[in-house]
Chain A
Amino acid sequence: MIRLENVTKVYKGDVTALREVTAEIQRGEFVFLVGQSGSGKSTFLRLLNREEVPDSGKIWVSGKDLSKLRSWSVPHFRRSMGCVFQDYKLLHKKTVFENVAFALEVIGQSRPVIRKNVPAILDLVGLTQKAERFPNQLSGGEQQRVSIARAFANRPEIMLADEPTGNLDPSTSVGIMKLLDLINRRGTTVIMATHDRSIVDSMQRRVIELDRGVVVRDESRGIYD
């Protein structure tokens, strides 16, 4: 499903974010990317949704060679992926419902489809009661649920999560992880960058550890270290 082959990414100023990274991720897997800040976790994710392009090496996602992807087809490519971030990236002038609906609207979904799907997704993330609230009326955990709902709205094959629990307390984080686990069980491949040790240890899923841009560990049922 996802394959990286000798991928190297160097940022301006000779900062090497990833060096000769090779990895393969199967459909339906749940993968933790761990490592210290600056180890290249975010770059790994940004390469997968083609926000960045590698300086050398090859990346395949869903059978597509990303180096051959034309820039005009990148938006369509991204529709097969959901992204979740530490800072949620919600629109504060829109309600919970509108935030999720917006993601469908801007990829050209019709209003009937939106009216049918958004309530179902809000039900999945447990926010049906709060559909008409605005993001600043919600707790951090609830905001992250909205963000996950938005990422999942288009039923993506792959979900990329960059420190989704980074701003949340441990008990709220557990709820978010349960939600991501639920999404994974519905068939979506989940790749999550984190340095939350207790989450990684309790989930017992595949762990890829990066250290200064190099894969130093790849275990199928791993713990944080």
Chain B
Amino acid sequence: MYRLWYYFRETFSSIWRNLSLTMAAIFTVAISLALVGASLLVREGAERATAQFQEGVEFIVFMNADAAEDQDLAIREVLDNSPVIASYNYIDQEDAYEEFRNLFADKPDLINSVSPSVMPPSYRIVPSDPSAANVSELADQFASQPGVKEVATATEAIRQIDDFSTRVSQALLVAAVVLVAVSALLILNTVFTAIGARRQEIEVMKLVGATNWFIRIPFMLEGTIHGLLGAALAIPALFIVDKQVLAFFQESDAVPLFRGFAVPEGFVWDTSIWLLLIGGTVGMLGSAVAVTRYLDV
């Protein structure tokens, strides 16, 4: 009990004595862990967005608005009889117009400029083999049929979003790893300074027979607190990324696929716990190195 109080008192008086360096260490930890967290969120969001897509349909055969009825029937016959098509859904001109109106509800001019008669009807197709290679092969086959305007495959879009999110999360991760290393060094330095400030006390402690761990623990506690406080500061940043950045993509009309760009409920909290673990570990390791290298006990 007395010992716990001793550790607590020594640790906090040391932090207080060394406040500016302590703040620098804490903020560096916060920034680097915020980046780690953001990269985890982007990665998870992208996985969700593309996963949703893969579960569903998605290659779409758009017919010409004025396609002849026999051209349409020919397509339908292929779809009905082909063993490689699992199912499909026909969107007629009225449905297409409805969807268009929903999509551009905030742009009445655009809606007024079209009517159901100019909308292309389409088949949304679920292939039995959803691999990218198979989908693009099927798409090519349909594209060459008479009456077909164009074939849109999801694979292209998926590849784009995958690419985008991979790059973003990798860039964030690289920056984060560098910064985590920097913050470990900064913690090491802060603890080193704290050790220097208490050199006389440490000498006396060794002299009267304080155990090595008794001398080490306040310093290691100090480093661990840097890491944990930094992580605590990074957690609000995670929520901001979730509520602002990911939400921005979800609400954006530019790339419809990004609407799936969300992380599940609780993921941000799980990530927060990881950040605390990483922060605490980095702080403890940084201070452990300082203690073993400079404490000489």
Residues of A within 8 A of B73 (CB): none
B2 near A106: Cβ-Cβ < 8 Å: no
A102 within 8 Å of B by Cβ? yes
Q: Evaluate whether A75 and B209 lie within 8 angstroms (CB atoms) in the complex, with A108-B3, A110-B2 already known.
A: yes
Q: How far is the CA of A82 from the CA of B204 in the complex (A)?
A: 11
**What distance in Å separates the Cβ of A203 from its nearest Cβ neighbour in chain B?**
25
Interface residues of A (CB under 8 A from B): 72, 75-79, 81-83, 89, 91-92, 102-103, 105-111, 150-151, 153-154
Interface residues of B (CB under 8 A from A): 2-3, 6, 200-201, 203-212, 214-215
Q: How far is the CA of A107 from the CA of B2 in the complex (A)?
A: 11
Q: How far is the CA of A152 from the CA of B23 in the complex (A)?
A: 41
B2 near A75: Cβ-Cβ < 8 Å: no
Tally the A-B contacts, defined by beta carbons under 8 Å: 56
B3 near A103: Cβ-Cβ < 8 Å: no
Q: How far is the CA of A91 from the CA of B210 in the complex (A)?
A: 16
Residues of B within 8 A of A76 (CB): 209, 211
Q: How far is the CA of A108 from the CA of B7 in the complex (A)?
A: 11
A75 near B212: Cβ-Cβ < 8 Å: yes
Q: Evaluate whether A91 and B208 lie within 8 angstroms (CB atoms) in the complex, with A106-B214, A108-B214, A111-B2 already known.
A: no
**What distance in Å separates the Cβ of A133 from its nearest Cβ neighbour in chain B?**
18
Q: Evaluate whether A102 and B3 lie within 8 angstroms (CB atoms) in the complex, with A75-B209, A78-B209, A107-B209 already known.
A: no
Measured CB to CB, the nearest residue on chain A to B201 is A91
Q: How far is the CA of A100 from the CA of B102 in the complex (A)?
A: 81
Residues of B within 8 A of A78 (CB): 206-209
13 A-B Cβ contacts within 8 A? Answer: A72-B211, A75-B211, A75-B212, A77-B209, A78-B207, A79-B208, A79-B209, A81-B209, A89-B204, A105-B2, A107-B208, A107-B210, A150-B208
